[in-house]
């Protein structure tokens, strides 16, 4: 996080600072590897990052739609993928344990589903409009400044939770994206 917060992109006042910083960093890595960088934020239709992640590491769908990892819980996300030629020689990946169950399978209380103040997570998915309306009001400040309360309620991987400032950075970017240019 410090690498980004100390970067010119973080303070130049232009839109999408983290995406621009990511592109600068990862394009160079991809170029050096003779590959092409793909990003989760700039393709229409979107690149299926969650499906790709599920092929690479033991992650599972959670009731929130975010993928859950047995160790890191909900506290992981994807900044980029690098597309390389199939004959590139890479070290063999660690074998994925096929017997690891999803942490959600043994989570009887499912606090992620009962914590949201506006019940944005239900049987029909994630109610983005209800979430955004809450964030617009003073009671939404906790989510906006410290991160989604539903995500923070998950007991898995709490040691890896993002610091409040990092959570707030992402929530405010999300809020700007869903509430339009006036926000
Ligand atoms: C569109 C989108 C959103 C939309 C969601 C719209 C909606 N109605 O759900 C908005 C803007 C609201 C959003 C918000 C956030 N998002 Co978002 N989002 C995306 C994006 C760009 C595309 C997702 C998509 O449409 N996938 C459809 C197809 C293409 O995905 P797929 O991999 O083929 O299939 C998987 C999904 O369908 C997933 N899935 C999708 N919805 C649901 C719902 C349920 C119930 C389940 C079980 C599974 C599930 O399961 C499939 C298999 O794994 C992805 C990045 C990407 N390119 O994937 C990030 C992504 C999913 N988001 C992510 C995150 C972290 C967030 C935020 C938490 C950001 C934040 N504020 O910090 C917020 C959540 C809001 C909150 N309250 O905190 C991460 C999730 C990481 C993870 N651990 O899984 C991703 C992967 C981005 C990243 N850079 O890592 N997001
Ligand atoms: S609170 Fe329980 S059900 Fe919800 S994401 Fe965490 S482990 Fe899964
Ligand atoms: S950010 Fe707050 S209002 Fe939005 S889904 Fe999470 S807990 Fe609910």
Taking the centre of ligand 2 as the mean of its atom positions, its distance from the CA of residue 103, in whole angstroms, is 7
Q: What pLDDT does residue 137 have?
A: 96
Distance CA 89, CA 11 (A): 39
Tally of structural domains, the chain? 1
Query: Which residue's CA is minimally distant from atom 6 of ligand 3?
Result: 148
Is 175 within a domain? yes
Q: What pLDDT does residue 182 have?
A: 47
Contact (CB, 8 A) for 62 and 68: yes
Average pLDDT over residues 138-152: 97
Q: What pLDDT does residue 86 have?
A: 80
User: Who wins on pLDDT, 30 or 94?
Assistant: 30
Is 10 within a domain? no
Is 6 within a domain? no
Ligand 1 pocket member 102 (CB < 6 A) = no
Is 57 within a domain? yes
User: Who wins on pLDDT, 34 or 156?
Assistant: 156
Q: What pLDDT does residue 96 have?
A: 67
- Name the pLDDT band for 122 (thresholds 50, 70, 90): confident
User: Who wins on pLDDT, 123 or 75?
Assistant: 75
Average pLDDT over all residues of the chain: 91
- Name the pLDDT band for 181 (thresholds 50, 70, 90): low
Is 2 within a domain? no
pLDDT in tens, 153-174: 999 999 999 999 999 999 999 9
Q: Give percent of the chain above pLDDT 70.
A: 95
Distance CA 27, CA 34 (A): 10
Atom of ligand 2 nearest to the CA of 62: 5
User: Which residue range(s) make up the domain with 142?
Assistant: 17-179
Bridge partners (DSSP) listed for residue 61:
67
Residues with CB under 6 Å of ligand 2 are 62-64, 68, 103-104, 107, 110-112, 154, 156
Is 3 within a domain? no
Average pLDDT over residues 145-151: 97
């Amino acid at each position: 996080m410090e690498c980004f917060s100390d970067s010119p992109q973080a303070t130049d006042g232009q839109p999408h600072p983290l995406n621009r910083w990511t592109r600068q960093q990862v394009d160079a890595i991809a170029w050096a590897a003779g590959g092409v960088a793909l990003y989760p934020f700039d393709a229409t239709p979107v690149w299926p990052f969650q499906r790709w992640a599920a092929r690479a590491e033991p992650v599972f769908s959670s009731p929130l739609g975010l993928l859950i990892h047995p160790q890191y819980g909900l506290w992981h996300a994807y900044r980029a993928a690098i597309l390389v030629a199939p004959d590139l020689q890479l070290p063999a990946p660690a074998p994925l344990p096929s017997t690891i169950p999803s942490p959600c399978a043994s989570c009887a209380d499912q606090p992620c589903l009962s914590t949201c103040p506006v019940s944005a997570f239900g049987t029909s998915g994630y109610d983005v409009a209800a979430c955004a309306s809450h964030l617009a009001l003073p009671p939404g400040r906790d989510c906006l400044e410290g991160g989604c309360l539903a995500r923070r309620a998950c007991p898995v991987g709490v040691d890896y939770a993002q610091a409040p400032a990092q959570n707030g950075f992402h929530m405010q970017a999300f809020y700007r994206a869903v509430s339009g240019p006036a926000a």
